[in-house]
Amino acid sequence: MKFFRSVGEVFGYSPFRSLAQHARMCSWAVGLLQQQFEALRKGNYEEVEGLREEIDELEHHADQIKEEIRGNVTKSLMLPVDRHDLLEFLKVQDDILNNCEHVGHMVTFRKVKASEDVWEEFSVLLSKLMEIVNNYEEMVERIMHLVETSFSKKEVNKALEYVPIIEQLEHECDLIQIGLHTKLFNLENADPLDVQLMVTWVVHLGYVANAAARASDRFRIMILGR
Amino acid sequence: MDLFLIAAAVAGFYVAWNIGANDAANSMATSYGSRALTLKQIVIIASVLEFTGAVLFGKKVTHTVAKGIVPIELLDHNLVVYGALAALLSAGFWITISTYYNLPISTTHSIVGAMLGFGLAAVSQNHLTIEQIKWGVLAKVVLSWIVSPLLGAALAFVAFSLIRFILLYRYASESVEHVFRYLQVLTACYMAFAHGSNDVANATGPIAAILGYSGTVPFWVLFFGGLGIAIGIATWGYRVIETVGRQITELTFTRGFSAEFATATTVLLASNFGMPVSTTHTLVGSVIGVGLAGGLASVNLKIVQKIIFSWIVTVPVAAAMTISLYTVMVVFI
């Protein structure tokens, strides 16, 4: 029996918990990539394939969250941040996952043979990426606290402290990429197709770092643009 | 005649029950949404304080509903009985329909529209002239319907902004919220008291008119209305509090406090001026005020449209139903 009238409707859909959840998925995805590269190094191709599936599923799930947010953040909602800023932020954050998915697929294209020190360099690159997305996730998770405190200056500053850290890490990631590219193009007796594919991995891993840096910038714009 | 009195008592009780079951429950749901109180505590507080508010402070609004719009002293008493009974039945019927279809209508608007319908019917049968309807009072009442949500919004905006700039920006939000948990218990009581003092008139106004209202509301009429509201809360309102409270999870103690304080103050002020206002609409205004002060994760402004639509529909529909019922009674009895 639904014999009631309700004022509950005045409370609209809140996208913030889902935004934080979506950010968490970004760092899970990079975590899975890290495992994938470890499996590659060991030549465990079955595991590589399994992890690709896991990343695909994660990306699909994240897409559903993205759709949920986009479908619910309508013009009649009064949010504490600008609606366009929020949607733009979400779009760039989603690029982190999209690029993870691309890399997840690219590593399955070919059974690449590479020396231990090349794999070691990849491992360094992925650790750096992991560091970036971990910081990124921590930053976005602060949004719940920001909403609770109505964006108090102290909390805003605490959250935005992450932005320069992420930018610095992204720069370090660039340097690792440059080193890795140089190394790959100077490999002796390497199969050119292997080199070609590995270079593509490096480029796309760079896109992941880049998307995280751009998303943190959009996050700052969203928080400061109230 | 006795039959009419019994019918009026039943219809009046039904309206009061509905006020308790839905309107009172909605105004208390904010305290459940933030979990400042348990469901049991809310039901007890609401029943006791709605009743107290009704009995101690319900007189002025009852006066307005009983004879503020229709000059019942100029009419034959039998006609007043028919008219007020028709008004109670129509309002009760309209409230039932809209509640069933989940429309955010106001009991207050229904009863005011219904009493106006009674007055217009009396005019059409030449028992009153059109000038004798107290249009001035009606205009004030309608004005109070517009002012009350706006005042609620303004007060809530100020209350939450003060909390925000003085407390939330300086101290840890957890400790601020902790303090407001206790303060929200007080505003919950304040809210129930204010609501009782205003909304009871929707049931007691017509009953007072039927009993030959001359200027003082008999204590036991308010007692009856207050009791009806309390029974409404206890027998059905608790389910509404639970359902609505579950929709209101974004409301923390500071937000709940601000919205309740603003609503209760506005409504009690209205009671003091004898203005029958809608507590639910004032509450919606107050929640929007908290949102405007940056206190809420999301406010759905679509409800504003719905409320305005419900205003436009409720008054004419309640009036039309009363006119038909009244005419039927006058012609056939």
For residue B312, count CB atoms less than 10 angstroms from its CB and return exposed for 0-12, middle for 13-18, buried for 19 or more. exposed
The reply to whether A108 falls in a domain is: yes
Task: Please check whether residue B87 is in contact with residue B206, taking contact to mean a CB–CB distance below 8 angstroms.
Answer: yes
Nearest to B287 among A10, A148, A150 (CB): A10
The reply to whether A76 falls in a domain is: yes
- Tell me if chain A has a CB within 8 Å of the CB of B3: no
- Tell me if chain A has a CB within 8 Å of the CB of B300: yes
Whether pLDDT at B262 is above 80: yes
In this predicted structure, what is the pLDDT of residue A4? 82
- Residue B135 makes CB contacts below 8 A (sequence gap 6+) with none
Chain B residues touching A20 at Cβ < 8 A = none
Task: Please check whether residue A77 is in contact with residue A20, taking contact to mean a CB–CB distance below 8 angstroms.
Answer: no
Angle, helices B201-210/B219-232, rounded to nearest 10 degrees? 140
In this predicted structure, what is the pLDDT of residue A160? 96
Residues in A 144-163 with any Cβ partner in B closer than 8 A: 145, 147-154
B99:A4 CB<8 A: yes
pLDDT in tens, A117-170: 999 999 999 999 999 999 999 999 999 999 999 999 999 999 999 999 999 999
Task: Please check whether residue B218 is in contact with residue B208, taking contact to mean a CB–CB distance below 8 angstroms.
Answer: yes
Given its phi and psi angles, is residue B172 left (phi above 0), alpha (psi -120 to 50 degrees) or beta? beta
pLDDT in tens, B201-242: 999 999 999 998 877 888 999 999 999 999 999 999 999 999
Task: Please check whether residue A34 is in contact with residue A126, taking contact to mean a CB–CB distance below 8 angstroms.
Answer: yes
CA distance B233 to chain A (A): 12
Which of B283, B270, B287, B301 shows the shortest CA–CA distance to B60?
B270
Chain A residues touching B290 at Cβ < 8 A = none
- Tell me if chain B has a CB within 8 Å of the CB of A16: yes
B299:A80 CB<8 A: no
Region B271-287 average pLDDT:
96
CA distance A71 to chain B (A): 14
- Tell me if chain A has a CB within 8 Å of the CB of B252: yes
pLDDT in tens, B173-200: 889 999 999 999 999 999 999 999 999 9
DSSP for B48-65 reads HHHHHHHHHH-HHHHHII
Mean pLDDT, chain A, rounded, equals 95
Q: Which of A6, A16, A69 to mutate to test the interface with B (most CBs of B within 10 A)?
A: A6
ipTM for the assembly = 0.86
Whether pLDDT at A3 is above 80: no
Task: Please check whether residue B42 is in contact with residue B257, taking contact to mean a CB–CB distance below 8 angstroms.
Answer: no
Domain count along chain A: 1
Identity of the residue numbered B31: S
A5:B252 CB<8 A: no
Chain B residues touching A5 at Cβ < 8 A = 22-23, 26, 98-99, 102-105, 240, 280
Nearest residue of A to residue B97 by CA position? A3
User: pLDDT band at A9, cuts 50/70/90?
Assistant: confident
Nearest to B169 among A4, A77, A153 (CB): A153
B287:A15 CB<8 A: no
3 state SS of B142: helix
- Tell me if chain A has a CB within 8 Å of the CB of B240: yes
The reply to whether A112 falls in a domain is: yes
B22:A13 CB<8 A: no
The reply to whether A128 falls in a domain is: yes
In this predicted structure, what is the pLDDT of residue B235? 95
Task: Please check whether residue B255 is in contact with residue B296, taking contact to mean a CB–CB distance below 8 angstroms.
Answer: yes
Q: CA torsion angle for B77, B78, B84, B87 (degrees, to 10)?
A: -150
The reply to whether A45 falls in a domain is: yes
pLDDT in tens, A71-124: 999 999 999 999 999 999 999 999 999 999 999 999 999 999 999 999 999 999
B294:A7 CB<8 A: no
Nearest to A14 among B103, B284, B298 (CB): B298
Nearest residue of B to residue A11 by CA position? B299
B294:A80 CB<8 A: yes
Identity of the residue numbered A57: E
B298:A8 CB<8 A: no
- Residue B166 makes CB contacts below 8 A (sequence gap 6+) with none
Region B162-173 average pLDDT:
92
User: pLDDT band at B288, cuts 50/70/90?
Assistant: very high
A152:B252 CB<8 A: no
Chain B residues touching A10 at Cβ < 8 A = 284, 287-288, 299-300, 303
- Domain coverage including residue A197: 15-224
The model's pTM is 0.92
- Tell me if chain B has a CB within 8 Å of the CB of A76: yes
CA distance B292 to chain A (A): 8
Mean pLDDT, chain B, rounded, equals 94
The reply to whether A10 falls in a domain is: no
Q: Which of A3, A10, A142, A144 to mutate to test the interface with B (most CBs of B within 10 A)?
A: A10
In this predicted structure, what is the pLDDT of residue B1? 60
Q: What is the CATH number of the domain that holds A179?
A: 1.20.58.220
Task: Please check whether residue A26 is in contact with residue A96, taking contact to mean a CB–CB distance below 8 angstroms.
Answer: yes
The reply to whether A9 falls in a domain is: no
